[in-house]
């Protein structure tokens, strides 16, 4: 039994696209970054904590015939060392997008799988190049409401795609779930490998 510990519609879409049957259970955890924590350690920790919280909630349903595996993920945007999560309000979204305009930034996603065998986790990093964002386009985007539920105040699959001439790395990672790496991680977890790789 596979459970996705995330309420993200994009992660649900991607996992479905990859051919998995699963249920969705959101994890209620404290997502604040800890003092001195690197972005890679931050997203990896949150992915593990999300998966572990949901696993603990449903572990009584684990069975040898249908073993329980919980997948957690967390994505953040990093611009020149600053972690950009989901914007608090439109003014915060404007600040983030102005910071990203004309610059290169990184998108980091931590993924973790928790099963009876233990925990496996990894971090995927993608470089994203942004063109300059003109004020008229920024106003149109902010008024759409689209940036408000997305790390860094944008989604590569939406209106903001017009500002992204290229990326280096996994496209799906920027959407919130690096598919190839996630599939490999689920396979490792299913084989009972419980070593956790360190953050990149």
Catalytic residue among 21, 62, 74, 149: 74
179 sits in the region (left: phi over 0; alpha: psi -120 to 50; else beta) called alpha
Backbone angles phi, psi at 182, to 5 degrees: -65, -45
Token duo for residue 174: 């920027």
30 belongs to the catalytic site: no
Task: Give the tokens for residue 3.
Answer: 């459970």
From residue 189, alpha-carbon distances to 82, 103, 120 in Å are 32, 37, 6
CA 77 to chain centre: 10
Catalytic residue numbers read 74
């Amino acid at each position: 039994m596979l459970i996705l510990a995330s309420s993200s519609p994009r992660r649900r879409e991607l996992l479905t696209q990859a051919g998995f049957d699963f249920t969705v259970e959101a994890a209620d955890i404290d997502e604040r970054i800890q003092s001195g924590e690197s972005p890679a350690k931050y997203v990896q920790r949150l992915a593990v904590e999300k998966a572990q919280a949901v696993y603990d909630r449903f572990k009584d349903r684990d069975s040898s015939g249908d073993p329980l595996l919980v997948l957690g993920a967390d994505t953040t945007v990093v611009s020149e060392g600053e972690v950009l999560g989901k914007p608090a309000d439109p003014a915060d979204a404007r600040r983030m997008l102005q910071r990203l305009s004309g610059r290169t930034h990184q998108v980091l996603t931590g993924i973790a799988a928790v099963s009876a065998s233990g925990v496996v986790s990894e971090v995927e990093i993608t470089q994203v190049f942004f063109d300059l964002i003109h004020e008229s386009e920024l106003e149109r985007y902010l008024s759409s409401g689209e940036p408000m539920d997305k790390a860094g105040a944008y989604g590569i699959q939406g209106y903001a795609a017009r500002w992204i001439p290229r990326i280096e790395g996994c496209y799906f990672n920027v959407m919130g779930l690096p598919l190839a790496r996630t599939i490999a991680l689920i396979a490792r977890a299913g084989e009972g490998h419980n070593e956790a790789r360190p953050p990149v």
